[in-house]
A and B are shown apart, each in its own frame.
Chain A
Amino acid sequence: MELSKTLKYGEKLGLDELEIFVHITDVIDVEGELGEISKTNKAKETDIFVRGIADKRVGFGFTNDMRFLNDTVKKVYSSARANKKDKNWQDLPEVRKYHDIEEYDPEIEKMSVEEVIDTCQEIIDLTPEGITPAFCDARREIGEKYCINTNGIEISERGTWTAAYSYLVGKTDAGVTPGCLGIEIMRRKNLNLEKIVSSAADDVKLSKNLKKAESGLKDVIIHPYALEDLLCYTLLTSILGENVVRGKSFLKGKIGSHIFSEKLTMTDDPLYKNGVSTMKFDFEGVPAKKTFLIQDGVLKNFLWNDYWAKIGGERSTGNAYRNILKGTVETKPTNIVIEEGSDNIFDIREGYYVKGFQGAHSSNPESGEFSVVCNPGFKVENGEITGGCVFMISGNIYDLLKNIEDIGREKITGTNIISPLIRFKVHTAAK
């Protein structure tokens, strides 16, 4: 892309600094409903984000159309002039060295509409008799990112994704089982459709055998699907540098402190192979890099975008993210990776296993308090999953992560988290 001329145009208008970030997505998505293909969708979208600074006043702009780029830069200039001076503004990110990483598979780019439809149909066909294939989806996506700024950054990358899910429901005497999800998101063309469907179908079968839950301090094994939801609204909000600077984080002043279970090591790793969020650079052109968040129970680092890092006296960790609707430059974790343990996670006489939480978003991100419904939830007896049950767990995320009993041997890829199963001691409330 030849956008250096636009940078010059911005300078002529009176902007001291200018950044253009282009994000292009090309998607084919096929939806299935009640055992039939229902709709095929195609979308190609270009999102162009512009940020300009004049006399420490920041202006933002957005357009979908490259032809309107100069007009958008003009609007950014007016928006910057209308804004107040930001005394904390230093400058746009500077040039740094990038890791040589690319998650791009030409086989995904070659996937035709018919092939994605076939994938969706195969998911439907794999559903066992007696279980309703309520919803399913198959998708292929190609993405391109490009960033240029007046501080010397000019970088681009492309990526591919293919994904599929199966959402299954079973009938029971009392009504229906919880909806059970099997999902995979891959950067290469290697979806395991049998695994996607069978994991959801096995959960439906178990859920049909309804067991009674009990209240009290119990062993609860949490699957990464559920854990990522809970972490997202608690720990992963408090670990953002901007919330630390703003006094909104429980973790402020605790770097170097042993506040988690020593079994826990967690990184933010945008270089993780086949990670959903694996990338070369973030949404303001800063190189992606692995950041240790927790090491053997000790809090090591926070996550930063460039603006808040400079206020906090830190360096950006490459975690900037652009919100398309709002146009904001935010901070967001990439691939959260939890290291394996060595124990047999199901080696308990009695306990519970959770694959989904309801209401994680109603947690208190500042204090880490949560109170959620485990659905789908399962009973574990003598090391075996014996049936389904719905119950609540509540507590504080920092207490929960202190009370890790065991971490499983094998990492499981969720959507934003790659983690083994983890067994906690936590208070349950039977429904």
Chain B
Amino acid sequence: MEDAIKKGIELGEKLNSDYCEIRVENIDLTYISLIDGRINTLNQRTELGAAIRILKDGAWGFVSCNIEDIEKGVKDAFSLAKNSAKRRKSKIELAEVKPVQENVIKKLEKPPKIVPVGTKIERMIDLYNKFKKYDPRIKAVSISYRDGEGKRYLFTNEGTELIQDVCHVWNYCWITGKKNQLLTSARDEIGSVSRGFEYFDGEPNEEIVKRTGKRVMMQLEGKEVGKGSFECVLGPRVVGVLAHEALGHLSEADLTVNSSFDGKIGEIVATEDIKINMVDDIVPDGFGNYKYDEEGVKVKKVEIIKNSVLAGLLTNREYAKKTEMPLTGSARAEDWRSSPIIRMRNTYFEKGDFEEEELFEGIKHGYYCVDFRGGQAELNSSFQVGIQEGYEIINGEIGDPIKNTSISGMAIEALKYITGTGKKLSFENGRCGKGQEAFVSSGGPKMRFKKGAIVFG
């Protein structure tokens, strides 16, 4: 394998590429889908392919191909780059990096490849049985499981020779409940890129069923929410969506220039009454944890908002050069079919110093949003988060559950309405879609917002 890649790099050099990069992926994947207790799909496959990216005369050419075709791929990528360059006025340049030669080994207690498929299925069937026992109102149970284990290779003509072990395990449940004519659902998503199948020892089926079952019942029994803006407390999972969707994307350097963060580096963007800090970093069991990115840059902590001031952006080599911001190791690619783009990893608000009761104190009528069902933001910082677990707050106390609502607002405005941040951090692991799928974590402490920032609709 390494010889084939090196030959490709040599050819890239011979062609006089300004930069030549070959990534190869060799990963064994398992996908199992269990629908109402029946195995709908059991798919085991090997992903083996090459991604070739060449910079020539200031433009990119990209080819994805089988590893047997690497040499042809290099020639094609070179020609694509040359053709693209003819139409460019300015040249794409890359920030300099020190080439890295390293073999990043991942030690797993229970590597997914050696766990028998029967064990994986048994866990899912047990989960299904527990859901069915939880409440007779649960009518349909869909459970998906994915794992992957293998190696990612990155070689460049600058001398980088990086081989990283990669692994993931992932579980997703979609649970449907019914009461009389009313149908509803809740979802649960967990996973790890740091641990193997042992990850599920810390995520017992009982807990998954308890938290997801509760959310389904709340959607069946909950109250409708008033429409308009209310004082509210957002839990870590919802705060995380705000950090990721509404603010994190604006700080991805390829998007910043078209966003509400453009030209605001060094400016106060959040309330000055308390210090707000938001970062993208490696965290324990973070779903975006890797040592190096797909350009061989070591992953770094990025202080996006520091003491309420917009301080940093996520970059790849192209945008680090263009914006003169530091390299952050944020270039990620879904697989060998995709070219690396700027992505978040684990994005969160740092903890504050408010006690739990202080966060709720004095709220006469508001809402406490605990968990979400999807979220989306736009470059003008308009955000929307669907709420799948939430409660009324009446006179500072948590009241009845609420249903069928989502929250929205302009994130750059909402940051100025924060009146308290809690002391305890927590995260959720999920996926982000920016044309390509990436595993990410997001989170924060509980945060309180005064009326006017967040609209319930």
Contacts and interface: CB of A to CB of B under 8 A. Distances in A.
A and B interact: yes
Interface of A: 30, 33-34, 36-45, 58-65, 75, 79, 82-84, 86, 88, 113-114, 117, 121, 132, 134, 169, 175-179, 215, 246-250, 325-329, 358-359, 361-367, 369, 371-373, 375, 390, 392-394, 427, 429-431
A29 B248 CA distance: 27
Given A59-B42, A82-B117, A325 B259 contact: no
A38 to B, nearest CB: 6
B376 A367 contact: no
Contact of B62 (A39, A75, A363): A39
Q: Which residue of B39, B65, B79 has the most chain A CB atoms within 10 A of its CB atom?
A: B39
B183 A176 contact: no
B39 A84 contact: yes
B432 interface: no
Interface stretch (B14-22, B84-92, B128-136, B289-297): B84-92
B43 A61 contact: yes
Contacts of A169: 258, 379
A175 B61 contact: no
B204 interface: no
B9 interface: no
Contacts of A117: 83-84, 86-87
Contacts of B114: none
B60 A39 contact: yes
A43 B185 contact: no
B329 interface: no
Contact of A82 (B42, B86, B92): B42
A178 B380 contact: yes
B457 A114 contact: no
Q: Which residue of A82, A134, A359 has the most chain B CB atoms within 10 A of its CB atom?
A: A359
12 contacts: A42-B61, A63-B45, A175-B259, A176-B258, A247-B178, A327-B43, A328-B40, A358-B378, A359-B374, A362-B376, A392-B406, A431-B410
Interface in B243-269: 254, 257-260, 262
B362 interface: no
B364 interface: no
A39 B61 contact: yes
Contact of A361 (B44, B376, B380, B410): B376
A42 B406 contact: no
B139 A248 contact: yes
Nearest to A114: B83
Contacts, number: 234
A68 B60 CA distance: 33
Contact of B61 (A40, A392, A394): A40
Contacts of A37: 59, 84, 87-88
Q: Which residue of A45, A75, A371, A431 has the most chain B CB atoms within 10 A of its CB atom?
A: A371
Nearest to A356: B378
A358 B376 contact: yes
B382 interface: yes
Contacts of B404: 364, 367, 369, 371, 394
B33 A328 contact: yes
Nearest to B337: A43
A88 B384 CA distance: 41
A61 B30 CA distance: 11
Q: Which residue of A40, A75, A248, A394 has the most chain B CB atoms within 10 A of its CB atom?
A: A40
Interface in B49-100: 49, 59-66, 76-77, 79-81, 83-84, 86-90, 92
A280 to B, nearest CB: 25
A177 B380 contact: yes
Contact of B90 (A36, A62, A134): A36
A40 B183 contact: no
B182 interface: yes
B228 interface: yes
A141 to B, nearest CB: 14
Contact of A359 (B176, B375, B379, B456): B375
A34 B257 contact: yes
Interface string B169-207: 000000010100011110000000000000000000000
Contacts of A358: 376-378, 382-384, 408
Contacts of A178: 378-380, 382
A248 B176 contact: yes
Nearest to A365: B185
B343 to A, nearest CB: 16
Q: Which residue of B33, B373, B408 has the most chain A CB atoms within 10 A of its CB atom?
A: B408
A247 B304 CA distance: 46
B401 to A, nearest CB: 15
Given A33-B254, A62-B45, A38 B385 contact: no
B121 to A, nearest CB: 8
A52 to B, nearest CB: 12
B328 interface: no
Contact of A176 (B39, B89, B117, B260): B260
B352 interface: no
Nearest to B64: A43
Q: Which residue of B43, B382, B409 has the most chain A CB atoms within 10 A of its CB atom?
A: B43
Contacts of B39: 58, 83-84, 86
Contacts of A36: 87-90
Contacts of A84: 38-39
A40 B62 contact: yes
Nearest to B144: A326
Interface in B428-457: 455-457
Contact of B41 (A132, A328, A364, A392): A328
B406 A175 contact: no
A359 B227 contact: no
A366 B31 contact: no
Given A34-B257, A60-B43, A79-B44, A394 B49 contact: no
A322 to B, nearest CB: 11
B347 interface: no
Contacts of B118: 82
A180 to B, nearest CB: 10
Contact of A246 (B35, B42, B59, B65): B35
A65 B59 contact: no
A366 B184 contact: yes
B251 to A, nearest CB: 14
A371 B376 CA distance: 12
B208 interface: no
B271 interface: no
B184 A429 contact: no
Contacts of B337: 43, 45
A134 B258 contact: yes
A120 to B, nearest CB: 8
Given A79-B44, A359-B386, A175 B412 contact: yes
A363 B386 contact: yes
Given A169-B258, A375-B380, A429-B455, A248 B227 contact: no
B219 interface: yes
Interface in B212-242: 219, 227-228
B148 to A, nearest CB: 11
A354 to B, nearest CB: 13
A214 to B, nearest CB: 12
B381 interface: yes
A428 to B, nearest CB: 8
B409 to A, nearest CB: 6
A5 to B, nearest CB: 22
B405 interface: yes
A175 to B, nearest CB: 4
A143 to B, nearest CB: 15
A361 B61 contact: no
Contacts of A64: 48-49, 66
A43 B375 CA distance: 31
Given A169-B258, A176-B262, A362-B373, A326 B64 contact: no
A40 B63 CA distance: 9
B325 interface: no
Given A37-B84, A179-B378, A373-B382, A327 B41 contact: yes
B140 interface: yes
